[in-house]
Amino acid sequence: MPRLPTTPQRSYIMSRIRAKNTKPELLLRKALWAKGIRYRTHAKDLPGKPDIVIRKYRLAIFVDGEFWHGHQWEKTKGIIKSNRDFWIPKIERNIQRDKDNNAALINMGYTVFRFWSDDVRKHLQKIVNQIQLYIETAGEGRVPYPADY
């Protein structure tokens, strides 16, 4: 049976997790830049500080980690074994905050794309194509409804 980390080890491991400039986020940013799509990162003046913002098209893009943002939450919730009293409410607050930020951005006239970090790793080209399609149609005045990834 694998040995679980001690409390100080676990604390150190958790402290190394980044909120900004994660590998999936950097992958997406590099791919967009290579396609000539210019953007701003972590706009402090927008709700939720989107990872990528394309102001010209009022597009806010988030790259969410599966654990922290509750991917397939009803299934995942049962898998959490240690410190459930802490993690379950924390992740549920994150999910609610994401919904609130989406609503606030939409009220400001933004379109919100949220991608799971695993999808960015596995389907990067598909995601870049989706963003490009949005930009092309927004430039023509037709805006497609963003697919829920």
Cβ–Cβ under 8 Å, residues 118 and 68:
no
Instruction: Name the token pair of 117.
Output: 């970090």
Report domain extents, the chain: 18-139
The 10 Å Cβ neighbour count of residue 16 is 6
Instruction: Name the token pair of 53.
Output: 């913002």
In the prediction, which pLDDT does 149 show?
42
Distance CA 56, CA 124 (A): 23
Closest CA to 120 of 78, 68, 60, 64: 64
State whether residue 90 is helix, strand or coil. Answer: helix
Cβ–Cβ under 8 Å, residues 28 and 128:
yes
In the prediction, which pLDDT does 54 show?
95
| Tens-digit pLDDT string for the chain (149 aa) | 567 778 888 778 777 777 788 899 999 999 999 999 999 999 999 999 999 999 999 999 999 988 888 898 988 888 888 888 988 999 999 999 999 999 999 999 999 999 999 999 999 999 999 999 999 988 766 555 555 44
Closest CA to 94 of 78, 114, 110, 123: 114
Q: What is the pTM of this model?
A: 0.83
Protein fold of 18-139: Endonuclease; Chain A (3.40.960)
